[in-house]
Structure 1
Amino acid sequence: MTSHSTLPGSAARTRRRTASSVAKFLGLLAGGDLDKVTAVFADDIDWYVPGSASLPWTGARTKGSEVADYFRTLGANIVPEKNVDDIEALLIDGDHAVMLGRFTRDARGTGRTYITPIAMHLQVADDKIVKLHLHEDTLAVAEAYAE
């Protein structure tokens, strides 16, 4: 495996640009300005959050313009001020980034708290996020919202 200091110039630049784009996304998301969050995504995206029709924020999206609606819908179904995001690692390889950790959420409709390990796969092109796939414990999420 190549160390960071010996990456060829182009590969090192790609890695830095990916890291910068992901950091910008996470920072804007933490700040809560969803229009600015949307701006870090490309027009055409590959977005997938597993779930079901009973969880309206889940599923595929193909347009960057759909990102803000995802976060608004999710925000309406959780208690955002109780969110705990425990990020254990952010791994970057070229234009790919993988975030590993655990999310704790409270389901607004049932009041149940759920904890899910997560892996979020992001891909960046031309300083824009073109892919976001979230991998989480879908059973824990579904059970938290089950009536």
Structure 2
Amino acid sequence: MSETRTVVNEFYRLLGSGEIDRLGELFADKIDWDIYGAEEVPWTGRRTTREQAIEFFRALPGHLQPEDFAVSHILVDGTDAVALGAMRHIVKATGKTFASPFAFHFTVENGKITRYVTFEDSLALAQAFEAV
């Protein structure tokens, strides 16, 4: 099994069990992270450090109540991996449901995640936050 696949599998295992501090250990000190979307959505934007990644994963449960999150495929090509799946959450601030397919792009170098970019239905997410 490739190092990239091992790290991404461990990422989802730790995320699923709520082990955020250990999840943070998977990230490099400096990262290239971007979550595209409306600025009204509290977690969109760029992050560049491991500490910011940990902060993101700690803050997310304050905004979303998960209903379903399923990774259907993890595609690996060298240092890059893409996780494909679907998710459904309730936005706590509004009570609205946000459902979307997703693709999360990881780059793993020297056993650490150096890049994390999310692709999801950012319009549906903004609408669930009443941002548009």
Show the counterpart of 1:76. Answer: 62
**CA separation in 1, counterparts of 2:25 and 2:98?**
30
Structure 1 unpaired stretches of 5+: 1-14
Show the counterpart of 2:33. Answer: 47
| C-alpha distance after superposition, 1:2-36 (max 9, x if no partner) | xxxxxxxxxxxxx6111111111111111112111
Structural RMSD (CA): 1.3
Residue 63 of structure 1 deviates from its aligned partner by: 0.3
Contact kept? 2:26, 2:112, Cα under 8 Å: yes
Q: Which among 54, 72, 79 is matched to residue 88 of structure 1?
A: 72
Higher relative contact order (CA 8 A, sep 6+): 2
| Structure with bigger gyration radius | 1
Show the counterpart of 1:123. Answer: 107
Structure 2 unpaired stretches of 5+: none
**CA separation in 1, counterparts of 2:45 and 2:60?**
12
Residue 86 of structure 1 deviates from its aligned partner by: 2.1
Moved over 2 A (4+): none
Q: Percent identity, aligned pairs only? A: 35
**CA separation in 2, counterparts of 1:59 and 1:29?**
20
Show the counterpart of 2:50. Answer: 64
Show the counterpart of 1:111. Answer: 95
Instruction: Please say if 1:137 is aligned against 2:103.
Output: no
* Amino acid aligned to 1:142: A
**CA separation in 1, counterparts of 2:70 and 2:13?**
15
**CA separation in 2, counterparts of 1:29 and 1:71?**
8
Residue 44 of structure 1 deviates from its aligned partner by: 0.5
TM-score by length of 1: 0.85
